[in-house]
Every structure is written in C-alpha cells, then in structure tokens.
Amino acid sequence: MSTYVFIAEALFFAFVILTFMGAILAVRARLLMHAVLGLAVCLLGVAGLYFYLGSIFLTMMQILIYVGAICILMVFGVMVGYTPQEIAESNFKGKNRFLAVAASFTGFFLLLIPLLRATFTPALEKTGDFSLPWLGETLLYRYCMAFELISVVLLAAIIGAIILATGGRES
Amino acid sequence: MDTAFLPPELLRMLIAALFVVTVVFVNALFMVYAERKIAGHIQRRPGPYEVGWHGILQTLVDGIKLMTKELVIPRDANRMLFRVAPLLAFTPVVMPFLVLPFSENLTIIDMNIGLIFILAMASLNVMAILVAGWSSNNKYGLFGAMRSVAQNIAYEIPILLSLLSVVLITNSFSMRTIVEAQISGLWFCLLQPLAFIIYLIAALAETNRAPFDMPEAESELTAGFHTEYSGMGFGLFFLGEYTNMFIVSSVAVAVFLGGWSGLPLPMDAWTGAFWFLLKVYILMFIMIWVRWTYPRVRFDQLMNLSWKYLIPFALLNLIVTAVIVKL
C-alpha cells in the first residue's frame, strides 16, 4: 500500500469518527452549547467526507454555509437566550426521557423501513461531467424551477423572521 | 531517505507547513513592533526603545514572556471550551496560506476555488471568538463575542459581493488566474474601484481593527472576548489577529492590486514575491495608520454602514459588472 492510499484511508476513518463523535456529542451533551458545537464538529466531519470523495467545492460550501453560518447563528441564539447556569440544567429526565426515547425509536424505525426495502446498486464510476460549470449550468437551466422555488421559500422565511422581530419590538 | 515511504509531494507539503508557520511568527513579530513604533510616532512619542537598538527586540522578549506565563482558567469558566477556543481561532487563520499566490512559482496549492477556500476559513474565525467569549463566563467576554458575531456576519457579505464582481470578470476562483488576468490587462483596483474600496472597508471590520474594533473596545469591554485569557491563550488570539491582517491584505493585493506583478528587478525568481510582499506591507501600514488616526465608531453606525451603504453599493456594482460582462 503506498503512502498516499494509506493517508487517504486513514483520513476517511478519521472523518467518519469525527462525524460520529460530533453526532453523539450533539445528542448526549448536557449543555446546549456543547450540543451545538457537537453539531458543528459533525458537519465538519461530513465536509471531510466530501473532501475524501474529491469534491473540494462541496467541502468548502459545507464549511461556509453549515459550519460558518448556520452553526454560528445557533450558537448566537443559545448565547442570547440563556445564561450558562440555565443551560447546564438538562431537561432530559423523568417523563421527558421516555418521550424522547419513544420519539427517537419511532423515527429510527420509520427510516429503517424504506432503507430495508430499497435495493442498492453500486454507483457507476464517474458517469459523466460533474465539474463546477456543469453543476452551475444544470442548476440554472434544467433545474431552474426547483432553484427558484427554494429561493422563494428562503424569502418567505426571511420575511417571517422580520415580522416576528419587529412585532416583538413594538409590544 | 526512502522515497516510497515519503513521496516528494508529501515532503513538499511538510516544507510548506514549516514555511507557513515561519511566516506567521515572523510576520507577527515584525507587525507588533511596527504597530507600536508607528503608533508611537503618530502620538509624538518614540514607542518601544529599551530592548535592543530602537527597541527592535521588544516583541521577541514580549513573546517569551507570554509563553512563560501561566494559563489561568477562571473558576466558573467552561474548561474544555475555554482551552479549545484559542486553537480554534488560530487554525483557520493559518489555512488560507495554502492558496495565497506569493509569486508565479511560489504558491503552495493552486486550487481552482482558492478564493472560496479563503472565505470559508474566514467564516470559521467567528466560531472561535464566540466560543472564547461564551466559555469565559464573563460579561465583557460575552458582549465582545456578541458584537463580534454581529459585525462579522454584516461585513462578510460586502467582502463576498465585492470579490464576486472580480470573479465575474475573470470567470475563475483560482487566485493564480485572477492575478494573471491583471498582468495581461488592467489591475482590478482601476477596473473595479468601488469594489476595491468596499473590500478595504469591510476587511478592516473583518479583522476587528479600529475604527471597527467593537469586539475588543478597551474603554468599554476591557479586552472583549479575550478578557479572561492569559499567557499563550491570549498569545494565540494575538498571533491570529496579525495573521488575519496579513491574509486580508494578501487577498486585496492578489485580487485588486495585481498580485506579484511589478517592475522587473534583478532578483530572478524572487522579484514576484518581493512585489507581492511590498504591496501587502504597504496595505498593512495603511491599516495601522487608520487605526491610530480615526476614533472608534458607535455600534449602530457600524451596522448602518454595512447594511445601508456597503451591501447595496456592492450589490449594485455586482449587477452592473454582470451586465457589462454579458454584453
């Protein structure tokens, strides 16, 4: 095994472990802040997996959008919302615990059904042009409708956020 | 050495890593000295003068002092995050060196999305400041972090928009292609003056420097998000800040000021690197100059400047550029 293959394989497992550790931290953490940061670690691991698959563009977008923007907004929300002492008190106890376990198992089994019924065919090795210009062109020509609809959803979300924010200020 | 175990490409990356660390430390040493000297002369005093000739060894001694100091962790702080934050702040600041085009043959990796890489790394910096401010469990730290995130989100947008208008012209995110487009044509600071000015203003804010140093405003927040840090914990934030200045200026030079292009000099392969670094340090001098000339802006003025002026103008500039390019 050449050094490159070894490094690539080692990185793959490192990213997988990073993703799982982040995910476990996000679920298990007692502090809300730790949970959000666990999510950030998990998303970084996913970015690493994109890197392993050879798509640097997706890696960068994952970091820029999910870690750099969304996680930061969540952390900001946590910081503004609670003091550290409040966050330390977990609500994962008593009746809540059973409800949480029941909800997550239901979700798990619901996801398991299509997963078991699906037949997986191994992906073909690079069946066409997947370069950045190709990606851009298909997004803006062939899938233009979907692209625009997503933008409308985001616009609606922004307008909603503004209405919520200004409503709170006046009252 | 066995080349099968250590391929030349890997060796090259190791050398590159060493080079980057050296540049980071030397740059910080030089810039801290330069900043204190320039500040001193602007305020009609000599600045550091005691250690070495004209105080030239002052930063080195300060650095050693920082390294030998104890890293105090406040009792009520969140210990793990408090320790992780300085590392988080320092790592993304070093990463952009990988794609900076120092000269035509001195680029570590010529990534085809180099500019996006730098922007992605810049966005991680905010996370570190937030973690540092929150984990200190100190109200000054928390306020500094909250101001910082509001400011960074606001100023990342004009930076992105102003760089995009250049990308529209070159049709590439690769730093090398952008520089080469300027060598064969006009520098983009002449072609895109509005984008250049917007980038410079937003870059000052992105590096948290005066007049936009709200996150660490000494007179109101003691030291902002790094109030509780001592020793090398503080040292890493400090190093990060000066490296960030270097990165921001380098991007400005590569994207707007013609990168490594300049008059031919009898220095063979080093001519490009010389011109690049000269331009970077001139820009950094201007940043220091601005810091010691203008007072700090108020927070609402800061937000208004970005959302009401910089972003609309950057958008307008982008649209006009797109139309012209398409015609």
Per-residue pLDDT reduced to its tens digit, B91-130: 888 888 888 888 777 777 777 788 888 888 888 888 888 8
Residues A83 and A36 in one domain: yes
- On the question of pLDDT at B2 being above 60, the answer is no
Residues A5 and A81 in one domain: yes
Residues A54 and A137 in one domain: no
Token pair 């960030």 in the structure block, residue: B244
Give B 109-128 residues with CB within 8 A of chain A.
Answer: 111-113, 116-117, 119-121, 123-124, 126-127
- Distance (Å, whole) CA A149 – CA A147: 6
Chain B residue with CA closest to A84: the answer is: B137
Average pLDDT, chain B: 82
Range of A11's domain? 1-90
Q: What is the pLDDT of residue B214?
A: 67
CB contact under 8 A, A68 and B131: no
Q: Determine the residue type at A20.
A: F
CB of B149 less than 8 A from some CB of A: yes
Residues A144 and A79 in one domain: no
The enclosing domain of A40 has a CATH number of: 1.20.120.1200
- Residue B303, SS3? helix
- Distance (Å, whole) CA B241 – CA B207: 7
Interhelix angle B175-184/B114-135, nearest 10 degrees: 130
DSSP conformation letters of B111-162: -TTHHHHHHHHHHHHHHHHHHHHHHTT-HHHHHHHHHHHHHHHHHHHHHHHH
Query: Is residue A16 included in any domain, yes or no?
Result: yes
Residues of B in contact with A63 (CB under 8 A): 120-121, 123-124
Residues A84 and A153 in one domain: no
Structure tokens at A120: 């997986």
CB of B87 less than 8 A from some CB of A: no
Query: Is residue A101 included in any domain, yes or no?
Result: no
Among A56, A64, A72, the residue with its CB nearest the CB of B149 is A72
The pLDDT confidence band at residue A107, using thresholds 50, 70 and 90, is very high
Among B6, B127, B137, the residue with its CB nearest the CB of A3 is B6
Beta bridge partners of B103: B106
Query: Is residue A153 included in any domain, yes or no?
Result: yes
Report how far apart the first and last C-alpha atoms of chain A are (Å, whole number).
Answer: 68
Q: What is the pLDDT of residue B111?
A: 78
| Average pLDDT of span A74-94 | 64
- On the question of pLDDT at A115 being above 60, the answer is yes
The pLDDT confidence band at residue A35, using thresholds 50, 70 and 90, is confident
Residues A151 and A81 in one domain: no
Q: Which residue has the higher pLDDT, A38 or B262?
A: A38
Structure tokens at A142: 């062939």
- On the question of pLDDT at A92 being above 60, the answer is no
CB contact under 8 A, A79 and B142: yes
Token pair 């997988």 in the structure block, residue: A16
Q: Determine the residue type at A55.
A: S
Residues of B in contact with A51 (CB under 8 A): none
| Average pLDDT of span B219-226 | 70
- Residue A146, SS3? helix
Q: What is the pLDDT of residue A152?
A: 93
Query: Is residue A32 included in any domain, yes or no?
Result: yes
Per-residue pLDDT reduced to its tens digit, B154-167: 888 899 889 888 88
Residues A7 and A73 in one domain: yes
Q: What is the pLDDT of residue A110?
A: 92
- Distance (Å, whole) CA B322 – CA B318: 6
- Distance (Å, whole) CA B239 – CA B187: 31
- Distance (Å, whole) CA B46 – CA B43: 9
Beta bridge partners of B106: B103
Residues A85 and A137 in one domain: no
Residues A83 and A24 in one domain: yes
- The pTM assigned to this predicted structure is 0.82
Q: What percent of chain A has pLDDT over 70?
A: 82
Q: What percent of chain B has pLDDT over 90?
A: 1
- Distance (Å, whole) CA A42 – CA A29: 13
Query: Is residue A107 included in any domain, yes or no?
Result: no
- The number of folded domains in chain A is 2
Per-residue pLDDT reduced to its tens digit, B128-185: 888 887 777 777 877 778 888 888 888 888 998 898 888 888 888 888 888 888 888 7
The residue among B117, B135, B160, B326 with the most chain A CBs within 10 A of its CB, best to mutate, is B117
Q: What is the pLDDT of residue A19?
A: 92
Residues A70 and A150 in one domain: no
Residues A12 and A84 in one domain: yes
- On the question of pLDDT at B1 being above 90, the answer is no
Whether the upstream peptide bond of residue B211 has omega within 30° of 0, thus cis, is yes
- Distance (Å, whole) CA B215 – CA B147: 5
Average pLDDT, chain A: 81
End residue of a domain, out of A37, A63, A90: A90
Alpha helices in B207-269 (DSSP H): 218-221, 231-256
Query: Is residue A115 included in any domain, yes or no?
Result: no
| Average pLDDT of span A89-105 | 75
CB B187 within 8 A of CB B277: no
The pLDDT confidence band at residue A93, using thresholds 50, 70 and 90, is low
CB B184 within 8 A of CB B251: no
CB B241 within 8 A of CB B86: no
